Structure 1
Amino acid sequence: MQKKYFFFDIDGTLSIGQTMVMPESAVRCLARLRAEGHFTALATGRLQASAAGFAAAHGFADFVADGGYSLTLGGQIAEMKSLPVQECIALIERLEAAEIPWSVTPVNERMCVTSDARYLPFAPPEYFPTQLDPTFDYHTLREIYKVNIACPAGQEAEIDFGTLPTVRYNRDVLLIEPTEKQKGIRRMLDRMGIPDEDVVVFGDGSNDLCMFGQGWFSIAMGNAREALKARADYVTDPVDRDGLWNACRHFGWI
């Protein structure tokens, strides 16, 4: 069997929604892929530290995280860069002028910090813990990995994001995070000398669109956004209906 190199999104692809909980069939599928000699990696928008916990729990030593801004190889960070700090600072200044609550993740840890108490009711309970520090001065930051904005769906047009990329987390919170997973995958492939024809990518969300149409075989979950399904080479069943297992069985990879 020809060895394949699989890159999986996490939320809504490997795990059910944003729960980080994988269906039993997905766990079994990963074990079978590895037993057959295939390479398995993650490609996620999550912070490296967050992805690392999921990776360790599910046997991934290699992953693209931070929406393509970081590479972890053999369990060690090989590359990691911040969002453009000055652009993020300018955005937060605009948010404060418009009285829009915000928080940031300034380190590679599962945490957010804000000096604005109004953000706390918006902080998703399943997301990073949010620290309130009235003395926090974002102007002194040298690295910023996420900016979290209290922005109900439909109100995006009221904010000037500049050139910063946005990803909607839920109906109330919008994230500033990289959306270049394809570039992270490409850098990993180049490091490993892997040809495009041996690569398979799985995804479900709008931030997975960048991975599709890159010369890799692309599979959208049945619960995926319609735009992703339209671009996919194949559409499988939803994640909670054995989508991963069924796709890999269909193509004879397991």
Structure 2
Amino acid sequence: MNALDIRTVDVVQYVTPLREGGSMPAIVKANDGFLYVLKFRGAGQGKKALIAEFIGGELARAIGLKVPEVVFMNLDDSFSKTEPDEEIQDLLKFSVGLNLGLHFLSGAITIDPLVTKIDGLIASKVVLLDSIISNIDRTPKNPNLLFWNKELWIIDNGASFYFHHNWPTWENHLTRTFPLIKDHVLLAQATQIPAAAKSIELTLNCDTINGIIESIPEDWLLNEADTMTPDHIRAAYKRYLTTKLSMIDVLAKEAQNAR
């Protein structure tokens, strides 16, 4: 499968920071006239958080979950020069270049797991997706899920694939399950885990995975601290995901037992 058709836009206005996020994303306006939540390459976890956000979001979309449109966003150096807040000024300065944007869902609210009722199959798909991508950050304390137009939307996958912060040991993670699924915000509502596993198996294949991984900007794969080449890193993500997919029944059983 060829790379995905991801649009690239330019940031034309910095609107406001979203200070509730640890990496301080911001609402920005792009040259297409739309508002986006911009995730910065210069934030704490750097470009790897953008990669995790991108892969996680596009996998979610591929299995039929709702995800805001993802775009690549060019940020030039003019914004840091006019920003009075020093912390934001530094963030803008270190983020010149290609960043990640998610279409801003105006009026969306963060779900309250005690109040918001989610369809059992959808909840089960989210749980299994997070098992596959090893997402440690979808808990009651920090759901990273929005409710918009009466539908559940997936955001904030940046804490996934935590193995990529230490490439020398990444292969140790290949056959591990994901015990942290016991803390998942939607686990109680995930009433159709076997059906969700079957659906994911039918939807996600090597072509889909390859298309997503091939769409990662080359620039994001270049890191002074990494000894692996971009090609080797792409191959590692592909192998990790195809291995997890082959373990879907094991991951499903783990989630069922955790329930």
Could you say whether these structures have the same fold, taking a TM-score greater than 0.5 normalized by the shorter chain as the test? no
Which is strand-richer, 1 or 2?
1
Which is helix-richer, 1 or 2?
2
TM-score, length-scaled by structure 1 = 0.24
TM-score, length-scaled by structure 2 = 0.24
